[in-house]
Amino acid sequence: MTITDIAKLSGVGVSTVSRVINNHPDVKSETREKVLSIIKEYNYVPNNSARILKQSNTKNIGILVKGVFNPFFSAILKNISTSVEASGYTMILQHHNNPNDLDTLVGFIKEKKLQGVICLGGNFIDIKEESFDDLDVAIVLLCVNLKTQKAWNSFSTISIADDIAAYEATRYLIENGHRNIAIMLGDRDDLGVGLIRYEGYKRAIEDNGIEIREDYIIYGEYEVTKAYEKATSFLKENKEVTAIFAISDMMAIGVAKAVVNLGLKIRDDISIVGFDGMDVAKYYEPTITTIKQPKDEMSKMSVDLLFELLNGETQHKHILLDIELVEGNSIKKIN
Amino acid sequence: MTITDIAKLSGVGVSTVSRVINNHPDVKSETREKVLSIIKEYNYVPNNSARILKQSNTKNIGILVKGVFNPFFSAILKNISTSVEASGYTMILQHHNNPNDLDTLVGFIKEKKLQGVICLGGNFIDIKEESFDDLDVAIVLLCVNLKTQKAWNSFSTISIADDIAAYEATRYLIENGHRNIAIMLGDRDDLGVGLIRYEGYKRAIEDNGIEIREDYIIYGEYEVTKAYEKATSFLKENKEVTAIFAISDMMAIGVAKAVVNLGLKIRDDISIVGFDGMDVAKYYEPTITTIKQPKDEMSKMSVDLLFELLNGETQHKHILLDIELVEGNSIKKIN
DNA sequence: GTTAGAATTGGAAACGATACCTAGTAAAGA
DNA sequence: TCTTTACTAGGTATCGTTTCCAATTCTAAC
């Protein structure tokens, strides 16, 4: 079934059928009805490749996800997915663990002929000025590790102030009297936003005259199980620690279980702070104090911005969203 | 940059360049080298649409996800994603909430010119014999509601015996002395596998001479928050209930929090059984007894099967995987 | 030196849509 | 009645590949 077949069956020319399909105005309504009925009867769907070939408009949006598909990313993914489809674009999902995020991104764009791409997570610290030069594509980075302002006009970013967020979380613990505060990061070899969060933590510690201890870093790999294991062995050996700041809520849950299974009490013995503001943190018992990221806003903005960029309605932007420290019941006030 | 440009630059014909690109044997090696170097120099990437148009081989694999992107689906998605990419196929993700799953599926296949598709969740109860007739595509259904054996040779399924699983969970509660057992399903209007699970629950209740109560069905919509709210109001009004069987672990966590916030104790006052076998259920405190689905096996098998089907190495299969009741600490033994 | 056969190579017709350009028809105005 | 204008419709070149078929070159044996 091609457009030619439909044209013959409806007794009109191919251009007319094309006009009908694309909702062009210059078609008599009875002709349109007739063509439409034939299309429906024969279950005709236009060949996307042929259209793309002619129009050089692929309508492909890529989503490049780095690392774990944690519930936080999934929630964002779902929101993005819904909006992308609603706009008649095709969403191509790629997951990777490649340390070279930039090359992966560029390859993805070229290979899939993307018009736009959203990156979820990853390190983009050494972006080169010319990296995106020859590709005319709308790029939005979400939750990435990016400190340089190089090539600042070649892509957009939507992020929270990860360092300030981590600073706040740590300061909150210190204000509550904690001094021996450990931090749980993701992958030792590929920190991503974890690096920025660690810097916030570090600054808060130092600003309050506490000594930084490298051995207070735990790597939980963003997984509940790993977090549980690592926290268990860590707590066994560092009895003086009174608080752990985990940079994801899922890891915070692993830590919580470790605390319980060691015969300790969450809050009274070990205070816990999470990060993300997932529902599970709220519905865990005790409710875990966490840094809430505006995930719905983040996903909505990223898609909106992407389409604005695609339509040439805006220049590249760098948006910083607010976070919120949501108090739970997992932090003890010491004296 | 097109194949013609490359041909001119290399001083050969387009067919030769095409042969080089596609690794056809009939090219002198020095010609090949030359063409390859030009391709590299000019950063040429073949136009995928043109290729697809000619070859009608899109290498597109679709993933159609119904309803919520819960952590269970995300985990499966991640596994699938990795394998699909490794095979050089493109993964197109679509999320929907359309009650008519079959039409959505067929439209998805046609529009995106898919070669294969995996469905995650949904209702496929009224599949018609001719539904997939004109589409030559490998279909694997995962975690779907499907009872008829119509068109059994047009698609594959990978599933667990949802009814037996739910039967087991319910029977386990009954064996532990519970009689007033509520069940928490997903969406009232779109049950999916929930329907099958409900039947298992119902049968277990009846087999043990307990009266079925329609008002013991709670609809938690597969969300922690909803589950929490619904369980809270349910428990306030049904004080005789001693156990709740939630058909997802995330909902089980919502239920758990509801129990705690009502001043009751998980296990001692209200027993909870989940479904899925997610890490969070294991690391929740108390560990939630759950029906564990072999999610890694499910995702691996679905992709393997899909590619076998694509390569014509096998006929359609209908695989039933085993589940396991993983005991936690959320069930009280009554006398 | 010829020639069969193999090894390479080039030309050109598709694939299925879009959109420019042209043409016919009907209504409106002169 | 004739011209102008607005609609509506059709023909066809084109997008960038692949691949069939034909043509050319090369190799080696006579």
Alpha helices in chain A (DSSP H): 3-10, 14-21, 29-41, 48-55, 71-86, 101-111, 162-175, 193-207, 224-237, 249-261, 279-283, 295-310
Domains and CATH numbers, chain A: 3-161+295-321 (3.40.50.2300), 162-293 (3.40.50.2300)
CA B2/CA B21 separation, integer angstroms? 12
User: Residue A129: its pLDDT value, please?
Assistant: 75
pLDDT above 80 (res A265): yes
Name the residue closest to D6, CA to C1'.
A26
Q: What is the pLDDT of residues B81-120, one digit of tens each?
A: 888 888 878 899 988 888 889 988 988 887 788 899 999 9
Residues of chain B found within 8 Å of residue A285, distances taken between Cβ atoms = 256-257, 260, 285
Q: Which nucleotide is nearest to B54 (CA to C1')?
A: C15
DSSP track, B180-219 = -EEEEESBTTB-THHHHHHHHHHHHHHHTTPPP-GGGEEE
Which token pair is A84? 């992308």
Query: Chain A: residue nearest B67 by CA?
Result: A78
Spatial contact of B232 and B262, defined as CB atoms under 8 Å apart: yes
Residue B167 binned pLDDT confidence (cut-offs 50, 70, 90): very high
Crossing angle between the packed helical segments B48-55 and A48-55, to the nearest 10 degrees: 140
**CA→C1' distance for A4 and D11 (Å):** 13
The beta-carbon neighbor of A49 closest among B53, B69, B280 is B53
Select from A58, A43, A53, A56 the least CA-distant residue to A88: A58
- Strand D nucleotides where any atom sits below 7 Å of a protein CB: 7-12, 14-21
Select from B324, B314, B320 the least CA-distant residue to B275: B324
**Does the C-beta of A28 come within 7 A of strand D?**
yes
**Does the C-beta of A37 come within 7 A of strand C?**
no
**CB–CB contact A43 B134 (8 Å):** yes
pLDDT above 90 (res A36): yes
Spatial contact of B131 and B155, defined as CB atoms under 8 Å apart: no
**CB–CB contact B93 A95 (8 Å):** no
Query: Chain A: residue nearest B52 by CA?
Result: A49
Which token pair is B283? 């690391």
Cα→Cα distances B54→B92, B111, B333, Å = 21, 17, 66
User: Residue B213: its pLDDT value, please?
Assistant: 96
The beta-carbon neighbor of A92 closest among B74, B92, B253 is B92
User: Residue A221: its pLDDT value, please?
Assistant: 93
Cα→Cα distances B130→A206, B88, B115, Å = 70, 31, 18
**Does the C-beta of B21 come within 7 A of strand D?**
yes
Mean pLDDT of B263-273: 97
The residue whose two tokens read 């899922």 is: A250
Residues of chain A found within 8 Å of residue B95, distances taken between Cβ atoms = 78, 81-82, 85
Q: What is the pLDDT of residues B20-42, one digit of tens each?
A: 999 888 888 889 999 999 999 98
Query: Chain B: residue nearest A65 by CA?
Result: B78
pLDDT above 80 (res B285): yes
User: Residue B165: its pLDDT value, please?
Assistant: 97
User: Residue A138: its pLDDT value, please?
Assistant: 92
Mean pLDDT of A14-18: 93
Which token pair is A169? 């979380």
Distance from CA of B234 to the nearest CA of A (A): 17
Name the residue closest to D16, CA to C1'.
B50
User: Residue B25: its pLDDT value, please?
Assistant: 86
Which token pair is B66? 């119904």
Which residues make Cβ contacts (< 8 Å) with residue B162, sequence separation at least 6? B193, B196, B197, B200
Mean pLDDT rounded to a whole number for chain A: 92
DSSP helix/strand/coil, B117: strand
CA B179/CA B158 separation, integer angstroms? 33
User: Residue B113: its pLDDT value, please?
Assistant: 82
**CB–CB contact A110 B285 (8 Å):** no
- Higher pLDDT residue, B190 or B259? B259
Q: Is B52 exposed, middle or buried (0-12, 13-18, 19+ CB in 10 A)?
A: buried
Residues of B 84-113 whose CB lies less than 7 Å from any atom of strand C: none
- Work out how many CB contacts closer than 8 A connect A with B: 130
CA A131/CA B296 separation, integer angstroms? 37
CA B244/CA A107 separation, integer angstroms? 49
Q: Which nucleotide is nearest to B13 (CA to C1')?
A: C10
Mean pLDDT of B245-269: 96
Query: Chain A: residue nearest B224 by CA?
Result: A279
CA A133/CA A148 separation, integer angstroms? 17
**Does the C-beta of A33 come within 7 A of strand D?**
no
Cα→Cα distances A87→A84, A166, B110, Å = 5, 36, 18
**CA→C1' distance for A18 and C26 (Å):** 24
CA A141/CA A152 separation, integer angstroms? 12
The beta-carbon neighbor of A95 closest among B81, B95, B228 is B81
pLDDT above 80 (res A83): yes
| B324-326 vs B289-292, strand pairing mode | antiparallel
**CB–CB contact A50 B47 (8 Å):** no
Cα→Cα distances A176→A170, A333, B67, Å = 10, 5, 42
Q: Which nucleotide is nearest to A18 (CA to C1')?
A: C18
Q: What percent of chain A shows pLDDT beyond 90?
A: 66
Distance from CA of B258 to the nearest CA of A (A): 8
pLDDT above 90 (res A293): yes
**CB–CB contact A71 B68 (8 Å):** no
Query: Chain A: residue nearest B223 by CA?
Result: A279
Mean pLDDT of B108-134: 85
Spatial contact of A47 and A4, defined as CB atoms under 8 Å apart: no
CA A210/CA A204 separation, integer angstroms? 9
Cβ-count burial B253-281 (b if 16+ within 10 Å, e if not): bbbbbbbbeeeeebbebbbbbbbbbbbbb
**Does the C-beta of B54 come within 7 A of strand D?**
yes
Q: What percent of chain B shows pLDDT beyond 90?
A: 66
Which token pair is B254? 């919502």
CA B74/CA B78 separation, integer angstroms? 6
Sign of the torsion formed by the C-alpha atoms of A245, A246, A250 and A254: negative
DSSP helix/strand/coil, B277: coil
Q: What letter would DSSP give residue A136?
A: -
This prediction's pTM: 0.85
pLDDT above 90 (res A70): no
Cα Rg, chain B, nearest whole Å: 26
Q: What is the pLDDT of residues A242-264, one digit of tens each?
A: 999 999 999 999 999 999 999 99
The residue whose two tokens read 């949501």 is: A326
Q: What is the pLDDT of residues A204-246, one digit of tens each?
A: 999 999 999 999 999 999 999 999 999 999 999 999 999 999 9
Mean pLDDT rounded to a whole number for chain B: 92
> Which of A93, A232, A270 should one mutate to test binding to chain B, selecting the residue with the greatest count of B CBs within 10 A?
A93
Residues of chain B found within 8 Å of residue A224, distances taken between Cβ atoms = 279-280, 282-283
